[in-house]
A = this chain, B = another copy of it.
Amino acid sequence: MRVFNFSAGPAALPLEVLEQARAEMTDWAGTGMSVMEVSHRGKAFTALAERAERRLRALLALPPDYRVLFLQGGATGQFAAVPLNLAAQGSGADYLNTGVWSDKAIQEAGRLGVRVSVVADEAASHYTTVPERSALRLDPRAAYVHYTPNETIGGVEFPYVPETGAVPLVADMSSTLLSRPIEVGRFGLIYAGAQKNIGPAGLCLVIVHEALLGRARAQIPAILSYARMAESGSMLNTPPTFAWYIADLVFQWIEARGGLAAMAEHNRTKAERLYAAIDASGLYRNPVARECRSWMNVPFTLARPELEAPFLAEAAQAGLTHLEGHRSVGGLRASLYNAVPLAAVDALIAFMREFERRRG
């Protein structure tokens, strides 16, 4: 009996992907072994790795001068990898602060000897907005500009891509990548923890323009070096093979459903329905400015906060899980990643209406 899972990550995976993984669990691709049990350097796995990259490149229409890395350590690892690869000790980088995750990236860069300029900070709106496009004053000598296109906790999303001229734009796309088409050519570097739209936790995708390889500091841990990972096909050491395998199945699942344009339509529809239901209600409220509401993470509060606990308990009873807000902010949150079906959103909306009628 499957539930409707609104987790912000590790998030829901497509049932078809799980069913295929189940069918192949003790004998994958005719090897007589699980995919977890085969050498990452053997023919079967290297074929999988190449196929996964090919699929991802096709989904994203990736220009040939970008490299794709399948790494460990999550986006938090990339908070360190970005400065260590792109900024010499003491050099400057511009960061946009739109919430918890951009702030974490800022803290880590500062710890690692980057002179961080926070060129925009949405504290005044309690991080319910993004900076005005025209208000960004960027340093043309910065090593890079870093931002978080979607803040998973705040539910805030950039409706535009910042213009950074010749300065490489770096984006934490953990909650964005594969949710819709993106124009990769505008970015120097994109990274994303897999546990949203890509696959299981423990895998992190990095998409990096070739021109940014080879700028790393001498004292960089090998596992964080883009150049060394690129030259070894992400196999400088044993990669997270099972997570890579699931990602390949997810890419295939997206492909079969019409690619990223279809995902965008699917995700836009889900988000619009849920925001409309929230806005139409007297009990629920989403605090984010309309033009930058996230398609992926919909935080909401109850006009009567004492109803949060019964809401969560009754939702769980109704087969709607993971609706609690992040522990740092409280409230409620529904995350609507690719694998969350429209039926889940409809069931959530029906439950919310019924709860409001009964308890509101």
Question: Could you list which residues of chain A lie within 8 angstroms of chain B, going by C-beta atoms?
Answer: 1-3, 5, 7-13, 15, 18-19, 21-22, 25-27, 31-34, 36-42, 72-77, 79-81, 84, 108, 111-113, 193, 195, 200-203, 218-219, 221-224, 236-243, 246, 319, 321-322, 327
Identify the closest chain B residue to A217 (Cβ).
B219
Identify the closest chain B residue to A32 (Cβ).
B3
20 A–B contacts, CB within 8 A, in A order: A2-B32, A2-B33, A3-B31, A7-B39, A10-B40, A10-B241, A15-B26, A21-B25, A25-B25, A32-B319, A33-B321, A41-B327, A74-B238, A76-B222, A77-B223, A81-B221, A202-B202, A221-B221, A221-B224, A242-B242
Residues of B within 8 A of A81 (CB): 221
| Of B38, B79, B223, the contact of A80 (CB 8 Å cutoff) | B223
Given contacts A202-B203, A241-B10, whether A74 and B219 have CB atoms under 8 Å apart is no
Residues of B within 8 A of A113 (CB): 219
Identify the closest chain B residue to A236 (Cβ).
B76
Q: Are B33 and A5 in contact (CB under 8 A)?
A: yes
Residues of B within 8 A of A203 (CB): 202
Identify the closest chain B residue to A72 (Cβ).
B72
| Of B1, B219, B242, the contact of A201 (CB 8 Å cutoff) | B242
In whole angstroms, how far apart are the Cα atoms of A201 and B3 in the complex?
29
Q: Are A74 and B237 in contact (CB under 8 A)?
A: yes
Q: Are A9 and B238 in contact (CB under 8 A)?
A: yes
Query: A10: shortest Cβ distance to chain B, in Å?
Result: 6
Q: Are A237 and B322 in contact (CB under 8 A)?
A: no
In whole angstroms, how far apart are the Cα atoms of A331 and B223 in the complex?
28
In whole angstroms, how far apart are the Cα atoms of A76 and B220 in the complex?
13
Given contacts A5-B37, A15-B26, whether A237 and B32 have CB atoms under 8 Å apart is no
10 extra interface residue pairs, beta carbon distance < 8 Å, beyond A3-B32, A36-B200: A10-B36, A12-B33, A18-B26, A22-B25, A36-B246, A73-B223, A74-B237, A79-B222, A201-B239, A202-B240
In whole angstroms, how far apart are the Cα atoms of A202 and B243 in the complex?
8
| Copies per assembly | 2
Q: Are B37 and A242 in contact (CB under 8 A)?
A: no
Q: Are B108 and A202 in contact (CB under 8 A)?
A: no
Given contacts A18-B25, A25-B22, A242-B243, whether A237 and B12 have CB atoms under 8 Å apart is no
Q: Are B1 and A27 in contact (CB under 8 A)?
A: yes
Q: Are B201 and A240 in contact (CB under 8 A)?
A: yes
Identify the closest chain B residue to A339 (Cβ).
B37
In whole angstroms, how far apart are the Cα atoms of A219 and B85 in the complex?
14
Residues of B within 8 A of A111 (CB): 218-219, 222
Residues of B within 8 A of A21 (CB): 25
Q: Are A240 and B200 in contact (CB under 8 A)?
A: yes
In whole angstroms, how far apart are the Cα atoms of A202 and B195 in the complex?
14
Identify the closest chain B residue to A11 (Cβ).
B37
| Of B2, B108, B222, the contact of A26 (CB 8 Å cutoff) | B2
Q: Are A238 and B36 in contact (CB under 8 A)?
A: no
Residues of B within 8 A of A80 (CB): 221-223
- The 9 nearest A-B residue pairs measured at CB: A202-B240, A80-B221, A3-B32, A76-B237, A22-B25, A72-B72, A36-B200, A202-B202, A201-B238
Residues of B within 8 A of A36 (CB): 10, 13, 18, 200-201, 246
Residues of B within 8 A of A221 (CB): 77, 80-81, 84, 108, 112, 221, 224
Given contacts A2-B27, A200-B242, A242-B242, whether A223 and B39 have CB atoms under 8 Å apart is no
